Amino acid sequence: MQTQKIIIAITGASGVIYGLRFIEILNQYPKVKSFVIISNAGKDVLNIEIPDWKDKLKNIKIYSENDLASPMASGSFLHDGMVIIPCSMASLAAIANGLAHNLIHRAADVCLKEGRKLILVPRETPLNLIHLKNMLNLKQAGATIIPPCPNFYTKPKDILDIVDQIVAKVLDQLGLNHHLITRWGE
């Protein structure tokens, strides 16, 4: 099997733990290479929510949102999908409206134009009409929207169980096998 390349972006929404956990899990796949972009606001939220985040990502190259000359900005860079986790309403709006001013928005725009998998994990509540319309536009343009809505019938024990439910949904969408959760009926 060829190595899969996955782009992961963390933006400045609450719930950056989802992004960190997703990166940690992806790193356990020997045949997956991650390309990580963190927005400036994403770094601010990481500093607030997970102050030791740099230690957790110490062996990982992090691309800046300003790095528009990186491979992910080009349609010629072949990859197997992009995940924005968590995705702020600001980034969601930029992507839904074709604004490609930073690397995250540009890489997402490229996914849509090239017909590659684009998964967004949006975090905001309540949602206003603009948020909802932007999500509809993105869905119609080919993106997959995975709101971080956990279930409770599986009786999560702690925050990690809840986070893993969402990470599992993203892995399922990417076609990556995992044992993060017990599936209903198993």
Ligand X SMILES: Cc1cc2nc3c(=O)[nH]c(=O)nc-3n(C[C@H](O)[C@H](O)[C@H](O)COP(=O)(O)O)c2cc1C
Query: Taking the complex as a whole, how short is the minimal distance between the CB of residue 38 and ligand X, in angstroms?
Result: 8
C-alpha to C-alpha distance for 72 and 61, rounded to whole angstroms: 13
Residues in contact with ligand X by the rule CB under 6 A = 11-14, 39, 41-42, 44-45, 48, 88-91, 123-124
Structure tokens, 83? 């995940």
Does residue 183 contact residue 171 with C-beta atoms inside 8 Å? no
Query: Taking the complex as a whole, how short is the minimal distance between the CB of residue 63 and ligand X, in angstroms?
Result: 13
Q: Which is nearer to ligand X, 39 or 165 (CB)?
A: 39
Q: Which is nearer to ligand X, 8 or 13 (CB)?
A: 13
- Which residue has its beta carbon closest to ligand X? 12
Q: Which is nearer to ligand X, 124 or 172 (CB)?
A: 124
Q: Which is nearer to ligand X, 70 or 88 (CB)?
A: 88
SS3 34: strand
Q: How far is CA 34 from CA 22, 31, 162, 171, in A?
A: 10, 10, 23, 13
Q: How far is CA 143 from CA 34, 98, 117, in A?
A: 19, 13, 7
In degrees and rounded to multiples of 5, residue 178 shows phi and psi of: -160, 165
Query: Taking the complex as a whole, how short is the minimal distance between the CB of residue 186 and ligand X, in angstroms?
Result: 32
Q: Which is nearer to ligand X, 90 or 174 (CB)?
A: 90
Query: Taking the complex as a whole, how short is the minimal distance between the CB of residue 167 and ligand X, in angstroms?
Result: 18
Query: Taking the complex as a whole, how short is the minimal distance between the CB of residue 78 and ligand X, in angstroms?
Result: 25
